[in-house]
């Protein structure tokens, strides 16, 4: 007897399955159409550019992120010289990642098997003999894995109850329906095997392990009973399986993310991570105060959310006990979208920002991008936050007293403290540094920035960088009194109008002086010049000082450190250097060149770095919303590795961490240095 299986064995009118399937597919198409209408509430946006690049990366992500759930299964990478603790070697989120993989792979294989059964039955008849046996054991095994995966998820959600997950009734219903659908499939298979064994005993029955086990339990029943139960359970299994699909479609259950999340990844932004959208300042509305002010892709984001809570867990504001929860922001906006989609009036039922999301939540964000780094489905949180800030600042003129003074000082004096532009270059007096317009022309500019120009502590970074460049023979100049704020914090706090004025003025001065290359020690300025100024006509080569020092070292332009620094050091990766630009190696290469330096990595480093709390203009705003300071939470991570020196490469991080060290009375225990200062120390300077 040749191994094989008739598709509709013991089933009358089995072809009626296709009618039911067509009805369910129609329901799915209608449900999807209704959702598309919701997304179309948003503004137009071109997300079909670079189709080849989108398709290639999408296909890779479908395997790496979809099938193998990279975001869930990934481990904290072993970086630096050694790990802090043995906990760093543990897989991050292995449990949910493993469970999701089992479900995805198991159900995917069952769906594929159904399709292959159809093809083999009606067309090519290839599922016979040894091929069928191999097919049967593989499919049955994957189905068992799906059952295990569902059970693991139920245990985690309703037994362990992680705080980042919010359980809703629909979640349990979906999980139970999936479990019952798969189990009834094995029951049908068990009755079929038990019935066929009454008339013959094929040695290929054990090749269907799921059904074979149940067949042993049914073996005492007579043929008529077995055939009746098989026929009845076949229709039950079919009804439940199609019912799951219909339920998911009609309720827009979270299982839609199987379709919507890959779509969202395909349409993700291909712009540089640090580039925000441009506001049409000649338009009637600025930012997003209504759901219609977002783009269609931003609304697609809302439905792509799987409510996994990874963004919540990664958010430094949430970790510090602030009101902001990025997952809640996305879900609140989704509720607003659904509510406005159902509304028959043009006026929203409630205000999207003040009554739905919350103003405090909008202002808590540091724009550190940890939420987007953690998100497995490419949701773009930061742009939405900035868009809502733009509405508050430009449309409602509703922002804090601190920001009011911040804007006024920058507009009138080009810096946040109302200091005279004339004194902007005072820090460089006596150092022999050229200034644009006064000395020999150069195409390389050292952009010093507001903090280094006026803050005594940060100016020491500028001095260290300048002396290193001079010793390496770099021909550069500074702008001195001609320099103004780069506009990073202005833009990320929502004031696009003032940002545009700064950009236009800065580009004009830079082009007038024929500047081709900009060196900055501030990652925020680095991002502004590299990713945002080009959109307004300012195309320059941009280098961060960690890149410059590492490059000069590799070329031998800087002398190798001679002084041994027998210190235990940890490096804090600035968000705008690490997560935004993937600059991890340059600072570590510089530190690796220093004799006897013991670099120990914090638990959260590189792309997982924990924000200092100063980004997104938060440095210029008062603490609010209760909880702890974000910098205080970060310092706890630093103290855990017991360093003698805390090194960073950002003036914002320097300010926040240095202040925190002093606040805790730890200045004698932990020295806070910029990487340029550390390197100069190793030279005996």
Domain ranges of the chain: 16-76+92-265, 280-286+305-395, 416-554, 568-682
CATH of domain 416-554: 3.40.50
* CATH fold match for the domains 16-76+92-265 and 568-682: no
Give the residues of the chain that fall short of pLDDT 70: 1, 61-93, 198-202, 438-440, 625
Q: How far apart are CA 589 and CA 546, in angstroms?
A: 9
Q: In 10 A of CB 676, how many CB atoms?
A: 26
What does DSSP assign to residue 631?
A: H
Q: Summarize pLDDT for 474-532 with one digit per residue, the tens.
A: 999 999 999 999 999 999 999 999 999 999 999 999 999 999 999 999 999 999 999 99
Q: At what angle do helices 169-199 and 223-251 cross, to 10 degrees?
A: 160
Q: Which residues of 316-329 are buried (b: 16+ CB within 10 A; e: fewer)?
A: bbbbbebbbbbbbb
Give the DSSP H/E element, type plus range, for residue 508: helix 496-512
Query: Residue 27 and residue 25: Cα distance in Å, rounded?
Result: 5
What local confidence, expressed as pLDDT, does residue 167 receive? 87
- The residue written with tokens 């790990």 in the block is 83
Residue 56 is predicted with a pLDDT of 83
Residues with Cβ within 8 Å of residue 678, at least 6 apart in sequence? 565, 569, 590, 591, 594, 645, 647
| pLDDT recorded at residue 88 | 38
**Domain 16-76+92-265: which CATH number of 1.20.950, 3.40.50, 1.10.20, 2.60.40:** 1.20.950
CA distance 671 to 679: 14
pLDDT at 678: 96
Structure tokens, 591: 């530190």
- CATH architecture entry for 568-682: 3-Layer(aba) Sandwich (3.40)
At 77 the pLDDT is 39
DSSP 582: -
Query: What is the structure's pLDDT at 536?
Result: 97
DSSP H or E run through 598 = strand 598-599
Contacts of 613 (CB under 8 A, 6+ apart): 316, 320, 366, 619, 629, 630, 631, 634, 656
* pTM (two decimals): 0.90
The position carrying tokens 């430009």 is 394
């Amino acid at each position: 007897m040749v191994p094989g299986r008739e598709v509709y064995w013991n089933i009358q009118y089995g072809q009626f399955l296709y009618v039911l399937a067509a009805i369910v597919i129609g329901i799915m198409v209608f449900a999807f159409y209704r959702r598309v209408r919701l997304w179309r509430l948003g503004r137009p946006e071109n997300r079909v550019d670079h189709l080849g690049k989108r398709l290639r990366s999408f296909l890779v992500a479908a395997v790496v992120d979809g099938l193998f759930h990279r975001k869930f299964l990934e481990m904290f990478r072993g970086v630096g010289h050694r790990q802090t603790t043995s906990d760093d070697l543990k897989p991050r989120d292995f449990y949910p990642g493993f469970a999701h993989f089992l479900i995805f792979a198991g159900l995917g294989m069952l769906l594929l098997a159904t399709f292959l059964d159809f093809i083999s039955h009606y067309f090519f008849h290839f599922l016979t003999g040894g091929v069928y046996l191999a097919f049967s054991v593989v499919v049955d095994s994957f189905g068992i894995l799906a059952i295990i995966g569902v059970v693991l998820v139920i245990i985690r959600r309703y037994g362990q109850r992680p705080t980042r997950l919010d359980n809703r009734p629909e979640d349990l219903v979906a999980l139970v329906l999936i479990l019952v659908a798969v189990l009834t499939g094995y029951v049908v298979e068990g009755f079929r095997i038990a019935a066929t064994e009454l008339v013959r005993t094929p040695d290929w029955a054990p090749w269907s392990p799921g059904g074979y086990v149940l067949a042993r339990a049914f073996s005492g029943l007579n043929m008529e009973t077995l055939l009746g139960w098989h026929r009845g359970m076949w229709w039950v299994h079919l009804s439940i399986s199609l019912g799951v699909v219909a339920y998911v479609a009609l309720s827009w259950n979270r299982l839609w993310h199987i379709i919507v999340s890959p779509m969202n990844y395909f349409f993700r932004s291909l712009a540089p991570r640090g580039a925000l959208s441009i506001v049409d300042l000649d338009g009637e509305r600025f930012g997003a105060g209504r759901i219609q002010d977002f783009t269609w892709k931003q609304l697609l984001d809302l439905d792509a959310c799987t409510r996994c809570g990874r963004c919540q867990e990664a958010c430094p504001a949430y970790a510090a006990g602030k009101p902001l929860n990025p997952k809640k922001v996305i879900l609140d906006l989704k509720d607003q979208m659904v509510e406005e989609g159902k509304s028959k009036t043009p006026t929203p039922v409630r205000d999207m920002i003040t009554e739905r999301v919350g103003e405090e939540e909008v202002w808590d964000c540091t724009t550190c991008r940890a939420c987007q780094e953690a998100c497995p489905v490419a949701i773009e949180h930061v742009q939405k936050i900035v868009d809502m800030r733009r509405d508050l600042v430009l449309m409602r003129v509703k922002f804090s007293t601190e920001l009011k003074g911040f804007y006024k000082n920058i507009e009138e004096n080009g810096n946040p403290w109302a200091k005279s532009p004339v004194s902007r270059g005072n820090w460089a007096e006596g150092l022999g540094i050229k200034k644009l317009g006064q000395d020999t022309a150069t195409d390389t500019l050292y952009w010093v920035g507001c903090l280094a120009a006026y803050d005594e502590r940060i100016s020491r970074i500028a001095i260290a960088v300048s002396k290193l460049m001079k010793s390496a023979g770099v021909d550069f100049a500074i702008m001195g009194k001609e320099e103004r704020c780069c506009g990073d914090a202005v833009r990320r706090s929502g004031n696009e109008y003032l940002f545009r004025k700064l950009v236009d003025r800065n580009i004009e001065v830079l082009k007038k002086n024929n500047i081709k290359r900009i060196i900055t020690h501030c990652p925020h300025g680095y991002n502004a010049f590299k990713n945002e100024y080009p959109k307004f006509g300012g195309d320059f080569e941009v280098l961060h000082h960690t890149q410059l020092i590492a490059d000069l070292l590799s070329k031998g332009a800087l002398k190798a450190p001679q002084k041994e620094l027998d210190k235990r050091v940890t490096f804090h990766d600035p968000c705008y250097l690490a997560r935004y630009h993937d600059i991890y190696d340059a600072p570590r290469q510089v530190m690796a060149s220093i004799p006897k330096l013991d670099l120990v990595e914090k638990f959260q480093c590189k792309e997982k770095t924990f924000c200092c709390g100063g980004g997104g203009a938060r440095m210029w705003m008062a603490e609010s919303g209760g909880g702890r300071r974000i910098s205080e939470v970060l310092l706890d991570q630093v103290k855990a590795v017991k360093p003698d020196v805390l090194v960073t490469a950002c003036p914002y991080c320097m300010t926040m961490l240095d202040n925190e060290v002093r606040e805790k009375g730890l200045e004698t225990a932990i020295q806070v240095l910029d990487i340029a200062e550390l390197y100069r120390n190793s030279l005996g300077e």
